[in-house]
Amino acid sequence: MYISYIDAQFMMLHTHMVQKPQLFGTTSSPFVLKDVCSPRHGRPLYVTTPIYYVNDVPHIGHAYTTIAADVMARFWRFLGWPTWFSTGVDEHGGKVAQSAKTKGVPTQSYVDHMAEIFKSLVHVLDATPDEFIRTTEPRHHHAAQELWKKLEQKGQIYLGTYSGWYAIRDEAFYSKDEIQDGKAPSGAPVEWVEEPCYFFKLSSWQEKLLTYYRHNPEAIRPKERYNETISFIQSGLKDLAISRTKLSWGISVPTHIGHVMYVWMDALTNYITVLGYPDTENEHYQTFWPHSVHLVGKDILRFHTVYWPAFLMAAGLNPPAQVFAHGWWTRDGQKMSKSLGNALDPFSLVQHYGSDAVRYFLLREMRFGQDGDISENAILQRYHQELKNSLGNLAQRVLAFIHQFYPQGVQSLENSFLDQDHEALQTWGRRALPYLKYCIEQEDLYGYIDLLQTSVQHVNGYITRFEPWKLRSIPEKALFLSQGLYSLCVFLRDTALLFSVVLPKSMSVLLEQMGEQGNISKGSYLRVGAPLSQGPWPKPHPLFGSSEE
């Protein structure tokens, strides 16, 4: 008997001990599926990307965050649990006004055009947000101004004069200690600004923020970003300038003519605008805000883990449940930039490789939270070795064999004795679900893919040893062969369901080739481990063609 094992490790999940599922070998399981994944035990998920700044066209970082958020949202919907996924664009600030001026177009026309480009990126990536917000929308102006008024009512804002360094590229204020060689820590050029402005009493929230994070260490992930935030807060918080008088393109301060809200205070409010703020008693807000997960790049960590929770706490609102800051991409070992001419256009990548391949590569190439490098060779290698020659090969060799020799399909033999390996194949998907859920909860998207891909590789090896082409000629093995093929198909169908959150297009095609509904709807986890569709099935064709197509 061929028995291979995926490395086993135990994880505590709520009150259940979840074991990373072994593909072959014992099928005993330390969890009860209905207790871990059923809708009656489901909790909501509100996952957001940053709202992307429209001073320039989308880049690979925008695609990366959007895909990650989409995978999380798709999996939560797959479980049938309440889900809200929001993305959008930030259309205010000095950089945007500068970009419009450079192009010689009215600022509103410019942002309208750019918003459509960012919306089209969502579409080509096959992302499925429930909300696409623009900060020029009236509802957002209302929400941001109401937040300002709440802070003012609570005595958190005062009038002063700002004299210091400001980086238009970052839309951020910096202290003199942070400026080196005339540049901000990000490398952005800075300019000296002197103007009357309103300040938020950020300094008074230093100890309150430290106390909050000490009691909620999971509120910032990964751990190094938590440590970075704590270190920044401990270094001393200074009151924050939150209005500008030398800028007109933005949301007006509601109680003071001539002042425009600081773009970050404006932009961050989007996360509660889409939930109906200032009405915090509505069902939508009450359902999702306590379960908010902000996915952001590590370059905007400070705004999300210091300024944003301080604004909210000062207004009498709860801070976000979690902020997860992911890493940066380099290309062939170099930082991507326009000046180097090595920036990657996500639209071109999708056009060349397909959306599934881009989604897969970006989440598979590095662990979410770390930095990574992207190259044409790396994309091709992942495409050929893991999508085409592993997952695609498994589907084709199993379904082509069945189409040729079992044109009416394979049937489950309910009363037959199940070989241990066959039982493992048929139960693997349901045993894997709680572990995959744990991966999503931990933002371990690499781990999610790794379990599925490793299992596919093991099953490819198993087929080589199972040798169905030889068993066909042995009459006494007919029952064993039929049950084995059925078990392989259950594994393949379940893998397609579980992989669909990462590879929605190709897995839809695979399910249809097995006579099943290609659409993954709310609560589709119930299809995992269910009986297969009756044959005959359509003639199969390769899921992944040439990467040049």
Contact 460, 394 (CB under 8 A): yes
Residue 337: per-residue pLDDT: 62
- Identify the three-state secondary structure at position 261: strand
The alpha carbon torsion through 28, 33, 35, 39 (nearest 10 deg) reads 180
Residue 12: per-residue pLDDT: 35
> Side-chain half-sphere of 29: how many Cα atoms within 13 Å?
24
Residue 335: per-residue pLDDT: 73
Residue 32: per-residue pLDDT: 40
Residue 420: per-residue pLDDT: 86
Q: In this structure, what token pair is assigned to residue 264?
A: 């970050």
Residue 39: per-residue pLDDT: 65
Cα 536 vs. chain centroid, distance in angstroms?
37
Contact 267, 260 (CB under 8 A): no
Residue 105: per-residue pLDDT: 97
pTM value is 0.92
Q: In this structure, what token pair is assigned to residue 398?
A: 């199993």
The alpha carbon torsion through 325, 329, 335, 337 (nearest 10 deg) reads -90
Contact 63, 27 (CB under 8 A): no
Cα 539 vs. chain centroid, distance in angstroms?
34
Q: In this structure, what token pair is assigned to residue 160?
A: 């002063």
Domains of the chain: 10-28+376-527 (1.10.730.10), 45-326 (3.40.50.620)
From the list 91, 80, 90, the residue with the least C-alpha distance to 40 is 80
Q: Give, for all 549 residues of the chain, the pLDDT tens digit.
A: 333 333 333 333 333 334 566 554 444 443 444 456 766 667 999 999 999 999 999 999 999 999 999 999 999 999 999 999 999 999 999 899 999 999 999 999 999 999 999 999 999 999 999 999 999 999 999 999 999 999 999 999 999 998 878 887 777 778 777 888 888 887 888 888 888 999 999 999 999 999 999 999 999 999 999 999 999 999 999 999 999 998 889 999 999 999 999 999 999 999 999 999 999 999 999 999 999 999 999 999 999 999 999 999 999 999 999 999 999 888 877 777 655 667 789 999 999 999 999 999 999 999 998 998 998 899 999 999 999 999 999 999 999 999 999 888 887 766 556 788 889 999 999 999 999 999 999 999 999 999 999 999 999 999 999 988 988 889 888 888 989 999 999 999 999 999 999 999 999 999 999 999 999 989 999 999 999 998 899 999 999 986 554
- Identify the three-state secondary structure at position 93: coil
* φ/ψ of residue 481, rounded to 5: -65, -45
* Euclidean distance between CA atoms 515 and 495, whole angstroms: 15
CA angle at 388 for the pair 470 and 346, rounded to the nearest 5°: 170
Rg of the chain taking only CA atoms, in angstroms:
26
Query: Residue 98, class by beta-carbon neighbours within 10 Å (0-12 exposed, 13-18 middle, 19+ buried)?
Result: middle
Distance in angstroms between the alpha carbons of the first and the last residue of the chain: 41
Residue 166: per-residue pLDDT: 81
From the list 436, 494, 437, 502, the residue with the least C-alpha distance to 41 is 437
